Amino acid sequence: MAMSTPAGGHHRLDSSNDTVVLQFREEGLPEILHWGTRLPDEIDLEEFRRAVERPVPHGLFDLGEAPSLIPQAGSGFTGHPAIQVHRGGYDTITDFRLAGCQADSAKINFVLNDETLAATLLVQLMLDPTTGVLTSRIKLTNTGADGLNLDWLAGLTLATEYADITQFDGRWALEFQLVRQYLSSGQIGKENRTGRTSHHSPPFLIAGEKGFGENHGAVIALHLAWSGNHKLFAERLRDGRIQLQCGVLLTPGEVILKRAESWESPPVYVARGERGLNDASRKLHAFVRQNLLSPRIAKKPRPVHFNTWEAVYFQHDLAKLKTLADLAADMGVERFVLDDGWFKRRINDRAGLGDWEVDDIKYPDGLSPLINHVIARGMEFGLWVEPEMVNSDSDLMRAHPDWILGIQGRAQPLGRSQYMLDLTRRDAFDAIFEKLDALLRQYPISYLKWDANRDVSHGLSAGRPAMYSQIQALYRLLDRIRDAHKDIEVEACASGGARADYAMLTRAERIWTSDCNDPYDRQTIQRGFSIFFPPEVMGCHVGPRRAHTTGREASTAFRAYTAFFGHMGIEANLLDLTAQERLQIATVIREHKRWRDHLRHAQIMRLEYDDRSICAFVAIGEASALISVAHLSSSPYPLLAPLRVPGLGRGNWSVQQLNIPPAARSRVKYAPPLSLGEKVILPALVLREQGVPLPVIAVGEVAIFALHRLGTANE
Ligand code: DGJ
């Protein structure tokens, strides 16, 4: 690649709405001078730089706190550096300088050299022309003779003034819970050392103007596309600015580069929201849909699932499963997913992982009788697997006790009675591939639910840290399976939602959001999930009347209309539901099928509402929109305030509530036409400024409104 420094030491990247201006100082470090709304084409970048330049206060280094994309101690930076390396304890100070770059209006690649250290960095920034989402990639190469230890390489460092920081917290069965903190001093950040994307610390970071909301205030939403250990943080620097950094969390000694070897960070994706978090989500969803999602999603509408887990757990009985398949098919299900429990010795979660042979007691004639039955009922067949894991009670472990991550002779805590296989070993990798491949060749399985149910404490291979290589091996395994079986779809799952990230999303058509099917909690879980992920990849199931994870009861309508807004499915023992309940779910499924194409293209906007008892959002398309309003806890007032709905542009919309509860008339003294299911016409500006009048909704109810644009968008 021909490399040169851009004329004038500046370069701009443009999307339809955004401009990023980079400058290359004389000292040789690239810096983002500006990232904001698109600047006029004719702007003189040198003038612009002079205009936005900031003073250098006393008390710091002579050039100030060396702002750059690669802040380092060597160039006068005392915050957390973007890169930390050494050679056996020497060469700890880096001073990478620009050696050349190659750029166009959407992309810039630059090479930075540190000749004393003998290493180079290759950095690439891409601004997606349509959405304005920024992608950052960075690669370190050792050009010296001795081994170069890499301890930290930020996938991206962004300087910002935004101190209102939001990250996700969560746990098994309660993922994607937002935690908001103001960064006055020091760092706010999270590390993930679980070896999976994580329930409690997934790789997302949001920084905004103080008090930003869903529809106001500028924000930056950032994601490291990685499914293993990571660290993301915001740091208040001593000059008052803030830096955001994220990268793979490496174990000391994990990466030692030999001469000419390289290490590359996973990509980082960042969206800027000018008007709140919804704006950032709009860009991220569009970017994901255009650039990351598998084309398999566009090929066909997302099939409605039936998943057997909460219906039967490990008690697989062919006759019962066939009955469930019949009931599911009658309810409009299109894909039957046989969850955990189908393979040898799998009577509980303590045995069988790793063998992947059909249990001949539960299935004396193999899976064919069930699969044929499912297919005959017009459904696809999907199968649960957990390929990275092994139980000690398995033939695989008995034959190859050394195939697990860890150290022989050192005990390690078990998670769900299982170990993680060392996929960096060729033999273990090939053996697992062959077992999965054989299953997929033997049976017409068109879907794999790919689970991973333990955290990793001893991420070691042959005594050395190996979590980074392990996750790369996982990606290779998934890619190999998907290459060998071109039509297969995959669901990324890890004890519920501990594997929701964009790296998995390029290899999976669905993400299992959470094991919690209780709509009260699901509403907030799905709300958090929707910040970075579009609805068509969000696995959502109608659970049993009493939720297995919370013990709480919820109405059929509430459960069904909560599952309605993603990739819908059912996960309950259908034999425990009354015919009336099954019919009710089937009716919502029918409705979902009418709207699922809309959802696949829709812009999701989380709606703000003063009364915290309400959780509401809207899915907006060109000509129609769907609003969901869930009442989660008792409201202080008998009358709910109208719900303001932005994003509908101009013109008039017809508005109609889709699901009128039987008590709609009797629970109030007067019910207006909208609350009785009549269509009303409202201008977009009234919906935005005054809002949709809400009916009296009982706690545990959800109101769904269908909107249709009258006339064209410009009226
Ligand atoms: C965890 C998943 O999240 C569940 O949906 C289920 O597949 C179980 N594992 C099976 O062991």
Both structure tokens of 228? 């293993």
Q: How many CB atoms lie within 10 A of CB 40?
A: 6
Q: Which residues pair with 98 in a beta bridge?
A: 112
Q: Is the pLDDT of residue 72 over 60?
A: yes
Question: 510 CA distance to ligand 1 centroid (A)?
Answer: 14
Q: Which is nearest to 219 in space by CA: 167, 258, 254, 169?
A: 167
With H, G, I as helix, E, B as strand and everything else as coil, classify residue 437.
Answer: helix
Dist. CA 675–CA 640, nearest whole Å: 13
Question: 439 CA distance to ligand 1 centroid (A)?
Answer: 20
Residue whose CA is at the smallest distance from ligand 1 atom 6 = 309
Domains 2-292 and 605-709 share a fold: no
Question: 246 CA distance to ligand 1 centroid (A)?
Answer: 29
Question: 451 CA distance to ligand 1 centroid (A)?
Answer: 7
pLDDT, tens digit, 9 for 90 and up, residues 384-425:
999 999 999 999 999 999 999 999 889 999 999 999 999 999
Pocket test for ligand 1, best of 337, 338, 384, 499 (most atoms within 8 A of CB): 384
Residue 149: its H or E element: strand 148-153
Exactly one of 95, 128, 355, 451 is catalytic; name it.
451
Q: Which fold has domain 304-601?
A: TIM Barrel (3.20.20)
493 lines ligand 1 (CB under 6 A): yes
Which carries the bigger pLDDT value, residue 25 or residue 143?
143
Question: 313 CA distance to ligand 1 centroid (A)?
Answer: 9
> Region 585-592: what's the mean pLDDT?
98
Dist. CA 700–CA 288, nearest whole Å: 33
Closest ligand 1 atom number to CA of residue 339: 7
Dist. CA 10–CA 321, nearest whole Å: 65
Mark whether 515 is an active-site residue: yes
Domain ranges in the chain?
Answer: 2-292, 304-601, 605-709
Is the overall model pTM greater than 0.75, yes or no?
A: yes
Q: Which fold has domain 2-292?
A: Beta-galactosidase; Chain A, domain 5 (2.70.98)
pLDDT, tens digit, 9 for 90 and up, residues 523-552:
999 999 999 999 999 999 999 999 999 999
Place of tokens 């960096």: 424
**DSSP conformation class of 258:** P
Pocket test for ligand 1, best of 196, 448, 495, 570 (most atoms within 8 A of CB): 495
Q: In sequence order, what E strands does 567-701 have?
A: 567-570, 603-607, 614-620, 624-631, 652-657, 680-683
Q: What is the mean pLDDT of the chain?
A: 96
Dist. CA 293–CA 528, nearest whole Å: 20
Which class for 76: exposed (0-12), middle (13-18), buried (19 or more C-beta within 10 A)? Answer: middle
571 lines ligand 1 (CB under 6 A): no
Question: 294 CA distance to ligand 1 centroid (A)?
Answer: 23
Query: In which band, very low, low, confident or very high, does the pLDDT at 25 lie, cut at 50, 70 and 90?
Result: confident
Superfamily classification of domain 605-709: Golgi alpha-mannosidase II (2.60.40.1180)
Dist. CA 704–CA 631, nearest whole Å: 12
Closest ligand 1 atom number to CA of residue 384: 7
214 lines ligand 1 (CB under 6 A): no
343 lines ligand 1 (CB under 6 A): no
User: In the prediction, which pLDDT does 408 show?
Assistant: 87
Q: Is the pLDDT of residue 47 over 70?
A: yes
Q: In sequence order, what E strands does 215-372 have?
A: 219-224, 230-236, 242-248, 255-257, 262-264, 268-273, 305-307, 335-338
Both structure tokens of 604? 């999701």
Q: What percent of the chain is predicted at pLDDT more than 70?
A: 98
Closest ligand 1 atom number to CA of residue 494: 3
CA pseudo-torsion sign 535, 541, 542, 548 = negative
453 lines ligand 1 (CB under 6 A): yes
pLDDT, tens digit, 9 for 90 and up, residues 649-696:
999 999 999 999 988 999 999 999 999 999 999 999 999 999 999 999
Residue whose CA is at the smallest distance from ligand 1 atom 11 = 340
User: In the prediction, which pLDDT does 2 show?
Assistant: 58
Which class for 612: exposed (0-12), middle (13-18), buried (19 or more C-beta within 10 A)? Answer: exposed
Please check whether residue 378 is in contact with residue 329, taking contact to mean a CB–CB distance below 8 angstroms. Answer: yes
384 lines ligand 1 (CB under 6 A): yes
Mark whether 422 is an active-site residue: no
Q: Which residues pair with 256 in a beta bridge?
A: 149
Dist. CA 56–CA 411, nearest whole Å: 55
Query: In which band, very low, low, confident or very high, does the pLDDT at 715 lie, cut at 50, 70 and 90?
Result: low
516 lines ligand 1 (CB under 6 A): no
